[in-house]
Structure 1
Amino acid sequence: MKLLFVNLCLCVLLQVGETSSAEPLPVFVSILPQKTFVERIGGALVDVSVMVQPGANPHNYEPRPGQMKALSKAKVYFAVGIGFEDVWLNRFASANPAMKIVHTEQGIKKIPMAAHHHGEERGDKSSRKHEQDGTPDPHVWLSPPNVKIIAKNIADSLSQADPEHRADYEMNLKKFQSEIDELDAYLRSIFADKKGSKFMVFHPAWGYFADAYGLEQIPVEIEGKEPKPAKLKELIEHAREDGIKIIFVQPQFSTKSAEAIAKAIGGEVAVADDLHQDWANNLRAQAEKFRKAMR
């Protein structure tokens, strides 16, 4: 009887140990698209929490107390180079010194944020040009080639944090990167005859996307601010000259300026969600919207 009791206890202990080792790795990401990336590579082996909540602005987000509490249990934080991280990553590290912070954007060649300027001196259309405001563009996740780099960084970091499942992470990475290649090929095909075409957006989040497919985004905002009347007038002229009829706005931004332009040109305002969790399908849908909006 004693021997039976001892054997039962050992079985229970072994089962507890197996359950413990099989618990998913708790990790945090900054934005919703990253949740998709990490889950595609980690699957059931990871438990992903998102810092920037739906509808919030990732450039100036402030974490909630409950999120900071949950962060204390995380093993890895996957950063992506978005604005609020400049202030908060050091605080996250202080709150959880054992948590590894991974810069998933490492290895991506950054481009400057776009800022639109119109030739004013002579009213000369040829003097119109697109310049850059000097600030690195953080919206790296909107380009499939960039996401292949992000995915590799995620897989490497998960393998380091959980070497027992390295083979799983590497297998999932290959599958995900293959899907990214398919998406990239599709996007190249639908924009093959649209090289140099323009689309107008309130916030210049689509620079990497535009670069990847030979397009040009025209931003409405000026360094994060609504344009003044004179600049708004220039944008209206620009839209008319280029045959633009749709102004794209992200859900977390004001539509005031976009609506003013749309009204003046007899156009409309449409949503361009750069933070959608369903990353691949969102890019497909958005690409089709951009294409339809191009002359």
Structure 2
Amino acid sequence: SRAQQRIARARPAAAAALALLALTAGCSGAREADPRPTIVVSVPPQAWLVERLVGDAAEIVVMIPPGASPATFEPELGQLRALSRASLYVKVGHPHFPFEATSIDRLLAVHPELRVIDLSLGEGSADHDPHLWLSPARVAAMIEPLAEALKTAVPDAADELPARSDALRRDVAATDAALRSVLASARGKSFLSVHAAWGHLAADYGLIQIAVEQDNKAPDPHRLAELIDRARALGIAVVFAQPQFDPASAELIAAELGARVEWIDPLARDWADNLVRVAKQLAAATRETAAQPDRAVDR
């Protein structure tokens, strides 16, 4: 009947309204039970850094959840609520980081009272790669200003911050040493990545990143053909893709090269372990490309 059809059409809207009401009530209760300050960060590796510095003294909210693309993701209701109660926002801060440019900056303008720390530390005007956290040297430089900001934002952690900062510096240095060891055999070698996420890591450890996309844009057919010819000449055996994006382009290029697709994630939360995993994948891939000439790298 028409009445039954109207009821059926109304159900999704009613369900959505009830879900929103439940979420609001749940959030309110959770905040009453959890008086800790809220720290909001843009990407999961920043959450790892904050957690290493303050432990469980703060609620840490990540704006870009696992699996989401920084190029297309828009904050959801729970994240907007977290932003409204936050005592500190930790930005990537790079002008070419699309998520902050399209979503976060306008949201922060609505919350002028919210303290913001920019972890680009002024870098980025002449560099189009926003993935600064993939460079251990840059992460080491982030620790002191981040700890200083957290001293005010999370007062209960202030006394432990010096010791935690020292421990974090040691772990970052150990990660750097591990990457230098793992990637020693890959110096001067090229690897092919669909997304231009690994430029800082490549530069730090003497590798050459060949990126298919530039500024989150796919290449035109002429440039793509040139890239495939270059990769074929180098004997590239692995095409690296990022799990936040559609694998179709990586699979297409791999098929053209007779190569395989492997996944490396620049947004993984377990920063240190992830970089070592990625380094091992890069080193293994360059060992397979036996046709590659060695190139001198001045670093």
TM score, norm. by length of structure 2? 0.78
Equivalence for 1:104: 119
CA 1:51–1:183 in 2, change beyond 3 Å: closer, same or farther? Answer: same
**Alignment counterpart, residue 226 of structure 1, candidates 205, 218, 227:** 218
Q: Which residue pairs with 1:127 in the alignment?
A: none
How far has the Cα of 1:168 moved from its partner?
0.8
Give % identity. 37
Query: Quick one: which of 254, 262, 276 aligns to 2:268?
Result: 276
Partner of 2:68: 56
Query: Counterparts of 2:204 and 2:180 in 1: how far apart (Å)?
Result: 8
Deviates more, 1:93-102 or 1:279-288: 93-102
What is the RMSD of the two structures over their aligned residues, measured on CA atoms?
Answer: 2.0
Give distance in 2, aligned partners of 1:86 and 1:259: 30
Quote the offset at 1:139 in angstroms.
0.4
Counterpart code for 2:226: E
1:81-92 to 2 correspondences below 5 Å: 81=93, 82-92=97-107
Structure 2 SS opposite 1:102: strand
Structure ranking higher in helix proportion: 2
Q: Distance in 1 between matches of 2:219 and 2:102?
A: 26
Task: Tell me: CA distance 1:239–1:94, structure 2 relative to 1, closer, same or farther (3 Å).
Answer: closer
For normalisation by structure 1, the TM-score amounts to 0.79
Distance 1:229 1:254 in 2: 18
Q: 1:224 to 1:88 in 2, by over 3 A?
A: closer
Structure with the higher fraction of residues in strand conformation: 1
Q: Does 1:31 align with 2:43?
A: yes
Q: Partners of 1:45 and 1:62 in 2: how far apart?
A: 28
Describe the SS at the equivalent of 2:106.
helix
Residue pair 2:199, 2:209 contacting (<8 A) in 1 also: yes
Asked whether the equivalents of residues 35 and 49 of structure 1 are also in contact (C-alpha less than 8 Å), the reply is: yes
Within a 5 Å distance, the mapping from 1:111-122 to structure 2 comes to 112=127
Amino acid at match of 2:100: E
Letter in 1 for 2:55: G
Q: Are 2:196 and 2:214, in contact at CA under 8 Å, matched by a contact in 1?
A: no
Secondary structure in structure 1 of the residue aligned to 2:98:
coil
Quick check: 2:48–2:270 contact (8 Å CA) kept in 1? Answer: yes
How many residues end up aligned between the 2 structures? 252
Following superposition, the deviation at residue 237 of structure 1 comes to 1.2
Aligned with 1:239 (options 231, 245, 250) = 231
Report how far residue 231 of structure 1 moved.
2.3
Residue 198 of structure 1, aligned match among 190, 208, 213: 190
Unaligned runs of 5+ in 2: 1-31, 290-299
